[in-house]
Amino acid sequence: MCLNDHLTHKIPLTTQRSFCWHCGHVLAWFDLIPIVSALLTKSRCRYCQHHYGYTYVLFECLGGIIGTWLFPDPELWLIALCLFFLALEDWDQQTIHANLLCPWLAYLVWTRWETPQLLVVGMFALICLWLIYVRHALGSGDFHVLMVIGLVSSPMILALTL
């Protein structure tokens, strides 16, 4: 979520500590404890009292639950993190940095080489490309996301995802 905020507001990742988006005050370490800090401050900035909502708390809880659930499978865990980041980015900007998934897609294709799943996903990729470039019914960022989901799940899950 922090990475998404920085990319959305074009803030350098290396030079800024977390700060209040309303007053600009740099947050102390105890303001950044996931879930606990937001609950103790009632989701308000301690300096300007601006209410920033419970979105962070909700996503921190969901991230914890999903992360714990997927933790035994590091591949799925990393994919869930990437897709969660892209979902937040899509929510904020209606666009995503889908190219971040390209190295991951290459890895997934490499590990699934010579499997029937790759053939199914390849055929699905052709349909997606037709929907993107001929019918303009999908965004180009959807292609990367759908390919990743297709390569890590069954055809039934991919169909349900659609």
Give the containing element (helix H, strand E) for 102. Answer: helix 102-111
**Beta carbon nearer to Zn ion, 31 or 89:** 31
**Beta carbon nearer to Zn ion, 22 or 97:** 22
CB of 26 to Zn ion, least distance (A): 10
Segment contacting Zn ion by CB under 5 A, of 41-49, 88-96, 120-128, 154-162: 41-49
The helix-helix angle for 74-93 and 102-111 (nearest 10°) equals 150
Contacts by residues 82-88 (CB-CB < 8 Å, ≥ 24 positions apart): 82/148, 83/145, 83/148, 83/149, 84/59, 85/3, 85/4, 86/141, 86/145, 88/1, 88/4, 88/59
CB of 52 to Zn ion, least distance (A): 8
Residue 28 engages Zn ion in binding (rule: CB under 5 A)? no
**Beta carbon nearer to Zn ion, 49 or 140:** 49
**Token reading at 76:** 């799925």
String marking each residue 42-81 x if it binds Zn ion according to CB under 5 A: ---x-xx-x-------------------------------
Please identify which residue in 11, 23, 40, 137 interacts with Zn ion, judged by CB under 5 A. 23
Choose among 101, 83, 89: nearest CA to 9: 89
Please identify which residue in 22, 44, 97, 112 interacts with Zn ion, judged by CB under 5 A. 22
CB of 6 to Zn ion, least distance (A): 17
In this structure, the number of other CB atoms found within 10 A of the CB of residue 40 comes to: 13
